[in-house]
Structure 1
Amino acid sequence: MKIDSGGTAWMLTSTALVLLMTPGLAFFYGGMSRAKSVLNMMMMSFVSIAVVGMAWVVYGYSLTFGDGGGLSSFIGGFGDWGLVGLENAATADDGTGIPQLVFAAFQATFAIITVALISGAVADRAKFGAWVVFTLVWVTLVYFPIAHWVWWSDGEKAGWLFDLGALDFAGGTVVHINAGVAALALVLVLGKRRGWPKEPMRPHNLPFVLLGAGLLWFGWFGFNAGSALGAGATAAVAFVNTLAATCAAAFTWIVVEKLRDGSSTTLGIASGIVAGLVAVTPACAFVTPLGAIALGLVAGAVCAFAVSLKYKLGYDDSLDVVGVHMVGGIVGALLIGVLATTAVNDAGADGLLAGGGFALLGEQAVAVLATLAYSFTVTYVIAKVIDLIMGFRISEDDEAAGIDSTAHAETAYDFGTIRAGIGSGATAAAHAPVSGVPGGTKVEAKG
């Protein structure tokens, strides 16, 4: 089949957009962290790119999108290890006209960000070396199999959830429910942060959070519309729905905040943006734009309430990965069974409101429950084994001092140079101690 140059150009662009999401996530999570752990938080995202990227090339693509023979319903094989031979494969064998290496690169970015998403739940307290080991083991034993279940088909055989008929256009189960429930398992193994929940642990840099949310939204158009594997009508539907649902969720979140807490916050609208993006991901090519708005309205409200459950249930999910990604992913996956219509995409199925009955909703529920059960169980075992072998949590003294300085020998903000520049006389008087300013100094604006 001849290469579709337009579709290939769109897929190369989408791949770059999705890769940008992980640095965007680093800013989002980094801003939500405390000042003494922002670098570690961002490093956990960046090292996920390094580790998962290599694993994907060596064996991850093969296990996810390869034929596993007798086990092909559950996992692929090693026939495409190292992407050997794909560099000479002009196009994928699925009729898209997209080079197989482009598809492999696109899917690599999904695996990368899925692992990075988990890191927000364990901010301030995970050993960096243990996180690196976890990253490799988890993507191998959890992400690759689930992605195979949901997305692999060669026309004759398929992953068991694909064969069942469950729909997940761009990663509601594979990425968000998977990462969210894995985050919950990891939190239960590591335990609570020192001082939580009595000590306030507020975001240290809200502009970073907003920047990260903006980068995520920008990249997410590649995430969702790119999953059409071409520049056509399906990509257009996914693109518009990604916009519509996210707008609705962001609005609903700040309305809930206003009614519940008395004020709408920048952290709230940033969180609402991510909740909408998460929820529309599995459904973006199967619902109408009005359906996407309805989905976003529900997801924004549900996730705004879900993030507070950690205080009632006692699990310390530092940056609300469970409340946004697991819960948002569940909302999006299940609402496909209600809102999907073949009038938008005949490759899908009709949901409840389109006259399809409860069949699709039941299939979506099976996919959600299977992902929750497998990911939680295997993640918990992985984390426990790593904890027993090398310890997963930093010491209490290191946690109090700040993981940036103890694990990376760096700090994000160097206030020492401000203090070092303070002289005597009039200059010293101008820098009299001021309560609440880092270093106890008053910094004079220079014209």
Structure 2
Amino acid sequence: MPLPEEASTSTDPVSFSSLGLIKPLLEALEQLKFTEPTEIQQQSIPYALEGRDIIGVASTGSGKTAAFALPILQKLWDEPKGLFACVLAPTRELAYQISQQFEALGSAMGVRCAVIVGGMEITAQAVALAKKPHIIVATPGRLNDHLENTKGFSLRNLKYLVLDEADRLLDMDFGPVIDKILKVIPKERSTYLFSATMTTKVAKLQRASLSNPVRVEVSSKYQTVSTLLQYYCLMPQKEKDTYLIYLANTLAQNSIIIFTRTVHDAARLSIILRTLGFPAIPLHGQLSQSQRLGSLNKFKSGGQRVLVATDVASRGLDIPSVDIVINFDIPTHSKDYIHRVGRTARAGRAGKSITLVTQYDVELIQRIEKVIGKKMELWETDKEEIASLRERANEACRVAANELKEQQNSGKKRKRGGEGGRRDDRDRDDDVVEAGMPTRKRASRGGRR
């Protein structure tokens, strides 16, 4: 197979109108205050309008949703009939965000979108699909479920397929499900594949799904932005909770995302912080979809200033103003660190990240520093203030442990309560399918997002 053609670059100033976009889209862009195209939009939109398949390599926050949404909407304007495009995304929150951007950009066209993700009522989704939306935005597991089980639904007439955050889709073991979907959609279609990194898995997916693509790469080096100030905070392992409370207290006027490795810690820390008077809410994969969206919307609107999240919130989500990212746990993979801290210092704004480092984390932090090509600075702490918080921190930890135990016990009672419990189980199983993990392993690996 021939290698994908590399996109040429130009130094001439570019506007959305010079890219060849139609008036309804230009008006929508103006209303959304999108003043000029980002680099990925400049390079990919002209090729997409020519009908070429696109491989877009660009980091999160680069404007790639509009890079694929605008050409699809322009073609939809020319051929306004039936199901037109399907976008596959790795997480439910990202799927909702992509749908919202399609609807905003296509507001003058009356574009209709359906979001098809796990954790939501499958019958209501079947009704939405029967109404013939123009755009479906889906997580692969639930879309495949509908393809196999929803009578009358198919993708036989699909014109566009988008694989967004392809590296993350494949990291989450969606590969086999995507292969099934590729077998039941038309070969004569346009395909856009967007990814932050070009792994061997992504290259294999590219060969299977794209035809004579043009490759657009706007950032070949995997790095953090220059406006981000990166710090580390040293502490003993047993003092992590106290140090986190100290940081939350010191930075109380800021909007903060705290990232944890496990669902348990996301739930536990949000209770600890709320017990001590901090407006904290959790976001993780074991919440219901309405709870997850509720947490995200409260944080986005500024109603709550602290979001405690697993890596379900680390990629793709555009939260306009995040002052500080705190890594309660250091991610095992350096690229996950880059995605986490990429939630702040977006669109040219300044931001800070603080990573909690214990005696067991030194090698991990050195590995991250090597990847990002810079040394983090030490975040200075006040030992006396930390000591004064210790007793209150320990009491809040006891409160959190009791509350989580009560939640676990009430969850077991609901599960034994007949029909309602069985429905809850099905939703949780959807989560497991979404993450590519066999259902029976969930109990033994509860920390996984």
TM-score, normalising length: structure 1? 0.28
Structure with more of its chain in strand, by fraction? 2
Higher RCO, Cα 8 Å, sep 6+: 1
Structure with more of its chain in helix, by fraction? 1
